[in-house]
């Protein structure tokens, strides 16, 4: 146990390991960047249609279907599938094939939670909102979304955390990220155990930090729920 910790600490506390294009700083930044881009794209793709379909009460089967497809879809397979397409379209290795897989991973929780949260708005709330003269978009933005905010943010958080954790796979197709340490470590399990450990710990830490931060936002935006009796 102690040896493991020493390995890890030894690697992380060496300033040189943080510098340069293959250093911890650069790889962590790249890791965050691809996660961020993938989360934004996944949100842009999943959120609006989920909102509209749920508001209209359409396609409840589709929403369940999307959730199930999402669960069944292995990100590694998606990368493998997208890789040749990406190369033939000139997007190359690395960033884009990984990003596509991460987006595919991120869509289902956002879609399903947004759909479920909004669709479960109590009928009386909708009736009251329309009754006082809100337009449809106003009902969505002023009532349905705020009311479902905790469920929506939970979906967003699940997506973001999964994306951060899975972005490591990018290392397999040449995207320099925290996953690269894991790959390097796995290639030489005895000599590069410190790299393996560093990669694993940093990926976990980053996922936990993202989880924590979004949780904070969630608590902030849905404070009224804590006062429900």
Site for another protein in 89-128 (CB under 8 A): 122, 124-125, 127-128
SS3 93: coil
In the list 147, 162, 182, 185, the residue contacting another protein (rule: CB under 8 A) is 147
Binding footprint of another protein, residue count (CB under 8 A) = 22
Stretch of 5-13, 70-78, 94-102, 141-149 lying at the interface with another protein (CB under 8 A): 141-149
Retrieve residue 216's tokens. Answer: 């904070």
**Position 9 contacts another protein (CB under 8 A):** no
Retrieve residue 23's tokens. Answer: 């250093």
How many Å separate Cα 132 from the centre of its chain?
38
Distance CA 22, CA 31 (A): 12
Least CB distance from residue 222 to another protein, whole Å?
Answer: 8
Least CB distance from residue 146 to another protein, whole Å?
Answer: 5
Q: Give the H/E segment covering residue 186.
A: helix 179-187
Site for another protein in 166-225 (CB under 8 A): 222, 224
Question: How many residues does this entry show for the chain?
Answer: 229
**Position 132 contacts another protein (CB under 8 A):** yes
**Terminus-to-terminus CA distance in the chain, angstroms?**
47
Binding site for another protein (CB under 8 A): 122, 124-125, 127-135, 138, 143, 146-147, 149, 222, 224, 227-229
């Amino acid at each position: 146990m102690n040896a493991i910790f020493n390995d890890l600490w030894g690697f992380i506390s060496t300033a040189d390991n943080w510098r340069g294009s293959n250093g911890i700083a650069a790889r962590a930044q790249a890791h965050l960047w691809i996660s961020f881009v993938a989360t934004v794209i996944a949100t842009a793709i999943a959120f609006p249609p989920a909102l509209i379909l749920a508001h209209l009460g359409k396609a409840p089967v589709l929403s369940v279907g999307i959730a199930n497809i999402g669960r069944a879809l292995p990100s590694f397979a998606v990368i493998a599938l997208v890789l040749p397409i990406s190369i033939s379209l000139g997007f190359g290795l690395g960033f884009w094939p990984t990003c596509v897989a991460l987006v595919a991973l991120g869509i289902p929780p956002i879609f399903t939670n947004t759909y479920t949260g909004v669709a479960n708005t109590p009928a009386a709330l909708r009736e009251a909102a329309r009754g006082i003269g809100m337009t449809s978009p106003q009902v969505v933005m002023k009532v349905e979304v705020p009311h479902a905010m905790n469920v929506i943010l939970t979906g967003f958080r699940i997506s973001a955390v999964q994306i951060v954790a899975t972005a490591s796979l990018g290392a397999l197709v040449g995207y320099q990220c925290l996953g690269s340490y894991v790959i390097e470590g796995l290639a030489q399990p005895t000599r590069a155990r410190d790299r393996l450990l560093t990669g694993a710990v940093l990926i976990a830490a980053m996922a936990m930090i993202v989880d924590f931060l979004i949780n904070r936002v969630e608590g902030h935006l849905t404070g009224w729920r804590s006062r429900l009796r």
